[in-house]
Amino acid sequence: MKMTFRWYGENDKVTLEQIRQIPGMTGIVSAVYDVAPGKVWSVESIERIKRLANDAGLDFTVVESVPVPEEIKLGGPDAEELIENYCENVRRLGAAGVDCICYNFMPVFDWFRTNLKNELPEGANGLSYDEKELAKLDPLSGEFSLPGWDESYTKNELRILMERYSKLGEEGLWKNVERFLRSVIPTAHEAGVNMAIHPDDPPWGIFGLPRIITNEQNIERFLKLVDMPENGLTFCTGSLGASPDNDLPKMAKKFARRIHFAHLRNIAITGYREFHEVAHPTECGSLDMFAIVKGLVEGGFDGYVRPDHGRMIWGETGKGGYGLYDRALGAAYLYGLFEGIKKIGV
């Protein structure tokens, strides 16, 4: 297990020096943020992140994310060329020493929450999701702004995009992800890179858009599309765990060798499709973090780990879910879980 921390680049309020001081921390997870999805990242930009990280005593071997452009997911006329650009990014990152790339195949919206400042009893705040609130939102109104949301679309572009996805449906999306994997995975194999798809967050369709990386059965189907070790997962417990039907300790153990990256965090499920994010430890939420880490260790997991969304505590303000303090506490807690479970043996 290698403990890492997400860093949003030079504009991130959290500094590399701070990250370095978190016990057990080996590296950062980052990306080139000023290039549109579908474009090739410059070698200089990649090397710059690496140099900044290395100068601060940290590795840069995990990228989150190389975004997949909508036209690839939709199988549009430019898909072939865009897939080739994607492969070029994989090659360039591999050449720079990156060996794990996180990405997702969620249509239009990346991760989604209905509240970014949910007040928690301990005086902190965090992110939350409530399907009843979602029902009141109209993505075409142009009136909301959320993380993961590409705000560059005009209302009309967004309407067309949503219509195309509704025609495509889930099976169409499966077809397009397979086409993507058939080019990208062999390239990743040659470049020495593991690809790690991030599950859909939340793990069900929103606004009528199809979503497929949602449960054990679908993950199994996904891994078989191209059955090579480089075709792997980001095991995000907060995403998959939002559905009580997902047995996370079982899935952790079953998929362990294909899990290249684990996002480990807890959530509290409070109703049907209603949950909020909490501190990482088991007793703070609905997920058994001990059993999940035990499942990973038992299954032979040997990938990267990062704490995931934290609460805002101790007066910190900043990017929702990505402050320093609570994620640092999460990292220390997770580190302890791994150490304990490994030493006692499974």
- Smallest gap, in angstroms, from Cβ of residue 290 to ligand DNO? 22
95 Cβ neighbours under 8 A, 6+ residues apart: 43, 191
The DSSP-derived string for 73-112 is: HHT-TTHHHHHHHHHHHHHHHHHTT--EEEEE--SS--S-
Residue 111 found at the interface with ligand DNO (CB under 6 A)? yes
Q: Is 333 an interacting residue with respect to ligand DNO (CB under 6 A)?
A: no
User: Candidates 100-108, 177-185, 213-221, 310-318 — which segment interacts with ligand DNO by CB under 6 A?
Assistant: 100-108
Query: Which residues on adjacent β-strands are paired with residue 3?
Result: 25, 305
**Considering the rule CB under 6 A, would residue 102 count as an interface residue with ligand DNO?**
yes
198 catalytically annotated = yes
Query: Which two structure tokens, joined as six digits, stand for 185?
Result: 């995975």
Q: Classify the C-alpha dihedral 198-203-204-208 as positive or negative.
A: negative
Catalytic residue among 236, 284, 326, 333: 236
Q: Which is catalytic among the residues 263, 284, 304, 333?
A: 263
Task: Pick from 23, 123, 142, 148 the residue near ligand DNO by CB under 6 A.
Answer: 148
Is 308 one of the annotated active-site residues of the chain? yes
236 catalytically annotated: yes
Strand 115-119's sheet: what is its strand order?
A: 115-119, 125-130, 274-277, 267-271
Q: The tokens of 82 are what?
A: 């865009």
Helix (H, G, I), strand (E, B), or coil: what is residue 209? coil
329 near ligand DNO, judged by CB under 6 A: no
Q: Which residue's CB is nearer to ligand DNO, number 65 or number 115?
A: 65
Q: Does residue 103 belong to the site contacting ligand DNO (CB under 6 A)?
A: yes
Catalytic residues: 198, 236, 263, 308-309, 322
Positions that interact with ligand DNO (CB under 6 A)? 64-65, 102-104, 110-111, 148, 198, 236, 263, 309, 321
